[in-house]
Each structure stands twice: as C-alpha cells, then as structure tokens.
Homo-oligomer: A and B are copies of this chain.
Amino acid sequence: MSRDVCVVVTARPSYSRIKSALVALRERSDVRLRLVVAASALLERYGSAVVYIENDGFEIAARVHMVLEGENLAAMTKTTGLGVLELATVFDNLRPDVVVTVADRYETLATAVAAAYMNIPLAHVQGGEVTGSIDEKVRHAVTKLADLHFVSTALARERVIRMGEEPDSVFVTGCPSIDLAAEVLKDPRLSFDPLQKYGGVGATLGLGEGYVVVIQHPVTTEHAAARRHVEETLHAVAALGLPALWFWPNPDAGSDGTSGGIRAFREQHAPRSIHFFKNMAPLDFLRLAYNSRCVVGNSSMGLRECAFLGVPVVNIGSRQAGRERGGNVIDVGYERGPILAAVRQQVARGRHPQDALYGDGQAGSRIAEKLATVALKIEKRLTY
C-alpha cells in the first residue's frame, strides 16, 4: 500500500528548496504525491511558481489563494490565518498520511498548524537553522509542531535535538536546493540570454564582460526601513560599473517598501546598468548565479547554493544573521559604501572552492526515502 505524501508549496523559493524531493517522491512506487500550491506561488506578481511546477509536469491536487494585499503586518498575519482555515479543508478532503512544510517563511506555519491540529504527521524541511527576524520564531515553532525533521547540517540536527525533539526523528539529509545546484554543475554554461528569455524591465545589458546578481528581501521586523535599505543597495550597485540583474522580492509585509524603493529609484535615476526580473526558472537562475561575478543581497541562496557553486557573495544586513556560512560570503551592513567595497572585493577575487556545508546533492532522494518508509506518529513529548 502506498503512502499519500502531501507537500504544500507556498512561494517561488520554497519550490526550489523542495523540487528535487518532489521529483524523487513522484518516482517512487510506494508514494502518491499530493501537491498543494498556495499563497504567492500562485501569483504572477511573485513569479508564478505554479507555472514552473506545471511545466515540470507535476499534477496539482489543490490550489489555495490566500495572500492578503497590503504594506502591513496585519496582511501577513491574516494570510497565515486564512492558510490555516483553508488548508484544514484541503487536508480534510485529501486525507494524506503525512504533510511536508518547507523552511521558515511566515505562511509555512499555517501548513504546520493545520497538519498538526488535524492529527496528520508533519515533516519539516530545513529546521534547526538560526537567522534574524520573524523567520526565527516561525522556524522553531514549526519544529515544535513537527514529527519528522529533515535538516541541512549536523549543527542544525544538534539544535533540533537540544530543543527537545527525539533524536531518531531528526535526519541530516542536506538541503534539496543543493540538489539543483549539483544538477547545474553538470553543465553550468549560461546557454540562454536572460533578457531575451525572461523580459523584465530596465536597461538593456550585454553580459559578456561579467555581471552581478542582486536579490534583496525586506526584513520583516524592520519593516519601515525596507525602503531605505534597498535604496542603499541600489546606489551601490548603480555605482559598480558592472551590469546587474536584479530580482524583485517576496510578498512579505514590507515588500511594498522594497518594491516602492526600487520603483522610485528607477523613476529618479533610470539606472543604465540594472535590469529587473520578476522571476526565473530555478535552474536558469542558478546558472545565472554560477556565471555571475558576485551575488549581492540577503537571500539565503547566497549562503546555501552559492557555497556549493563557489560563487562569491556579499550578504547585506541582518536577514541571514546566525545562519551557517562558508568562505564565499562577506557580510556587510546597509550602507552603500561598504556594500560597494565588498562587491568590488568579491568581483576581484573570483570563484571560491565548492563547499558541501548545506548538502551534497542527494537531499531529495533521502527525504523521499524517509517519507516513504519511516514509521509515522503524531504523539511526541519534550525529551527532558
């Protein structure tokens, strides 16, 4: 008898972080994959992850619109409440044997609450890491609701166990996002023209002399400052003298601050070296990053995938504070001067050696194997 494994994907980056596990689950005869696509993964404004999911041939068991609009925290909170409400109905109809939630975006807690309260065993991917902002609270709260933990590093496993989880429920699988990076390394050439393939807006750029990639998200609990933060990065990048490929942020509260800052900067400065993208197929994005001179911003992919790819990274601000990082990362604050200096230093230095800190490229199949075979239960108790 096969097991029904329900994975809830709520955002473009979450899809990248679980895709290799989805592929592995789909290939197993002892698993029936039930994929739920929800929240910003359904929205064009945030990159329409759903289109990539369908193009990758996955069948979608349910779609759930749940993102509230607004440049405020109430919208983020209500999105989560709506997620709990609606995922309850989805789980009540699908009746899966286990539910999987990915990482630490705010809406992943909705998946966790709905599954835990419905007495469905919950698996969490990427627990045990440490960062700044609301993600930190979300991640560990999900850990306390989860019955299975698929973590990226040995240190993450140790932390989850110290939080009181049973050791035999915590598995170091590596992060599935590294699986995509490993796939890219098989043929890392930039075989497409990003502007031609993905459109976007802004300057028309030639990438032959090298370029940088920028992706900067608002830091939720510093919400009001989001606009100022992104402006500093914009000034630094505009002054760099290399083309920049810039990606719009996630739908967190504050993204309107970041988006508004970008929009205003474009109106005022019409920067001639920056092109803006909404989204990109995950493998294309990794190829783009691999071939860049530097990745700039505060995305966790700078610490995770870029470690494996050996790409130099300038990590800005507090969003990744506390997260493990390799030698490819320089940390800076929010001021344009230090940002620019650090980018120049990384561009001058060139590629770093591969670092398997967050995984060796086999996370997806390990996660699928565990989901298909480990004993499932919903009762647990603090171990001390």
Interface positions of A (Cβ within 8 A of B):
42-45, 62-78, 80-86, 88-93, 106, 109-110, 113-114, 116-119, 130, 132-134, 136-137, 140-145, 159, 162-164, 201, 220-221, 223, 251, 256, 267, 321-322, 378-382, 384
Contacts and interface: CB of A to CB of B under 8 A. Distances in A.
5 contacts: A73-B118, A77-B118, A133-B379, A162-B164, A162-B384
Contacts of A142: 141
A82 B80 contact: no
A140 B382 contact: yes
A382 B136 contact: yes
Given A119-B223, A256-B45, A384-B162, A72 B81 contact: no
Give the copy number.
4
Contacts of A140: 144, 164, 382
Contacts of A117: 73, 76-77, 80, 106, 134
B72 A65 contact: yes
Given A77-B113, A137-B380, 11 more contacts: A45-B69, A69-B69, A78-B84, A78-B89, A81-B81, A81-B110, A85-B86, A86-B86, A116-B134, A133-B379, A136-B381
Secondary structure dominating the interface of A? helix
A347 B100 CA distance: 50
Contacts of A163: 163-164, 382
Nearest to A117: B77
Contact of A93 (B63, B81, B322, B379): B63
A79 to B, nearest CB: 9
Nearest to A92: B74
Given A43-B69, A69-B251, A382-B159, A113 B221 contact: no
Contacts of A67: 68-70
A64 B87 CA distance: 11
A131 to B, nearest CB: 8
Q: Can you list the 10 inter-chain pairs with the closest CB atoms, starting with the nearest?
A: A81-B84, A81-B85, A77-B88, A69-B69, A77-B117, A140-B144, A141-B144, A141-B141, A74-B92, A67-B69
B256 A80 contact: no
Given A82-B81, A132-B381, A137 B114 contact: no
Contacts of A133: 379
B43 A65 contact: no
